[in-house]
Structure 1
């Protein structure tokens, strides 16, 4: 394990208050409250949002979010409602990201994320589970499949990092760097419209959109990230994956363009089951109810028609 680098907030007490309040606002809008679980790991404590922990015999899901977000981004606008009746599921705040988990960042070039995620499964008492990961969360799923393949039933990767490099197209770099260099509400909303969402087909209601803006702007201004940025796994690592892998991709994802992800996955992931591209959908595909409905079908019925 690499020595973890610690990401921090400028004012940790203020950040904790902001983050707790933000998550409570999501819950209030959804009309659904999650159970708070803390799991101790080699990288510090990890906050997990749990649903239906009383359903001990129910199938389980673990959701890993993207970079600079947190677990409840998965459930904006009640997106995970299809899972609430019969699934026991867990939304993870990733260590090192601007969330309620500790700031120690697992290393991307090692299998730190796989070790950390395995410790989460241990802490939750999950012998096996199905995974879903968006962006950075997809990379985490791949690392867990390498570290503990016997623990994973299948992994659904949604606009994942870990298969191809971050796009260096001028368009993508411009819209991603704009709010980082000049973190204003206007620049952030431009980034959201051009990279994360794809209005009018892929968007969220105004109240949730405001929460997304508030969260990302707070993170940009107040969080000092010291970890590794996502990078693709080596070809030999992808070859070693034995878990069934499914891809759900947004047609308009400028960060990890879908055609390249599919080409590399078909070349190097021997257990790739299928890939589907959702039209007029941006990088923040975990906020798309169409994507979540497809995810639910894949998890519950193993239905997937190759694109």
Structure 2
């Protein structure tokens, strides 16, 4: 294992306690507790949050979160409640990110993320599954589809990285760099309200937003990231995708503006089966109940609009 690719917390034991307590607080607010599973992969252990593992005949969905987040960002304010009745749910903490998984970072330009995701499926004894990912998680989904297409029934990409480049617009850079350069709660609030959420339509209750701020502030100040930042897949990689791909994007996404994502996806992803644009949703689309409900309807009824 290359130490230069291993992200670390300044105080690992303290970070583990903070993260365990943070996740417990999300569960307490939701009134729902996930099963904790630890999977061993080529990149160290991976924490997985699971639901309905006792229902082997149910549909299965594996979720990959974005950069500088962890798995339960997907269940702010019980967003995943629609899936709990009839799905087996597995939410990963991505290795290398500020989470309870090992800090070893898969390399962006290689098949590493696909290998890591395949290892996760192997460790969970999942032969074939629906997958979903937001931002970096969308890129991970595509890497898995490229390396192990036989393991994926369909993939839902939400504001994905990996299709178009990160936006270098002045507005996007300002709100993203502000809390990195000056990690204060007020700067985080500006970042959240202008890049991640789109109040009042796309937002979370204050108690959840406070939790998100606590997490991000801790990660910014205590976590040393040593991995690669997302970058687009090569056009020939996009053309090699054969898994059914569904794209859900927010019209207000500053990080990966949807126009470029949609244009490139329609041009190169031959297995693209549907596109939906949510008009008042920003980059943190996994926190949008509208987006999660749309994803559920898609899986249950195949009701997402088809690409023109």
2:150 counterpart residue number: 150
Shift of 1:298: 1.2
What is the Cα deviation at residue 303 of structure 1?
A: 1.7
CA distance in 2 between partners of 1:166 and 1:2 (Å): 27
TM-score normalised over the length of structure 2: 0.98
How far residue 45 of structure 1 moved from its aligned partner, in angstroms, is 0.1
Equivalent in the alignment of 1:228: 228
Number of the residue aligned with 1:273: 273
Between the aligned partners of 1:85 and 1:229, the Cα distance in structure 2 is 36
Q: Please list every run of 5 or more consecutive structure 2 residues that lacks an aligned counterpart in the other structure.
A: none
Show CA shifts across 1:203-262 (max 9, x none). Answer: 000110100000011000000000000010000000000000001000100000011100
**CA positional deviation for 1:305:** 1.3
Q: Deviations over 1:10-55 (max 9, x none)?
A: 0000100000000000000000000000000010000000000000
Distance 1:260 1:4 in 2: 33
Contact 1:41–1:119 under 8 Å retained in 2: yes
1:255: which partner in 2? 255
- 4+ residue runs of structure 1 moved beyond 6 angstroms? 1-4
CA contact (8 A) 2:244 2:273 kept: yes
User: Contact 1:38/1:47 (CA < 8 Å) preserved in 2?
Assistant: yes
Secondary structure of residue in 1 paired with 2:242: coil
Residues 80-125 of structure 1 deviation map (CA, whole Å, 9 limit, x = unaligned): 0000001001000000000000000000000100000001000001
User: Do residues 105 (structure 1) and 105 (structure 2) align?
Assistant: yes
Return the offset for 1:306.
3.2
User: Residue 297 in 1 paired to residue 293 in 2?
Assistant: no
The 8 Å contact of residues 4 and 43 in structure 1, kept in 2 or not, is answered as: no
User: Using a 3 Å threshold, how does the CA distance of structure 1 residues 3 and 261 change in structure 2: closer, same or farther?
Assistant: farther
> Partners in 1 of 2:148 and 2:91 — Cα distance?
19
**Equivalent residues of 2:4, 2:226 under 8 A apart:** no
> Per-residue deviation at 1:3?
8.4
Give deviations 1:151-195, integer Å, cap 9, x for gaps. 000000000000011000010001000000010001011000000
Superposition map of 1:4-23 within 5 A: 5-23=5-23
Q: Secondary structure at the match of 2:25?
A: helix
The number of residues matched between the two structures is 307
Q: Does 1:59 align with 2:59?
A: yes
Report the Cα offset of residue 299 of structure 1. Answer: 1.4
Root-mean-square deviation (CA, aligned residues, Å) is: 1.2
Displacement after TM superposition at 1:304 (Å) = 1.4
Conservation of the 8 A alpha-carbon contact between 1:80 and 1:292: yes
Unpaired segments ≥5 residues, structure 1: none
Residue in structure 2 matched with residue 70 of structure 1 by the alignment: 70
Secondary structure of the residue aligned to 2:228 is coil
TM (norm. structure 1) is 0.98
* Counterpart for residue 212 of structure 1: 212
Q: Is the 8 A contact 1:197 1:282 kept in 2?
A: yes
Is this contact kept in 2: 1:52–1:84, CA < 8 A? yes
Indicate the SS of the match to 1:57.
coil
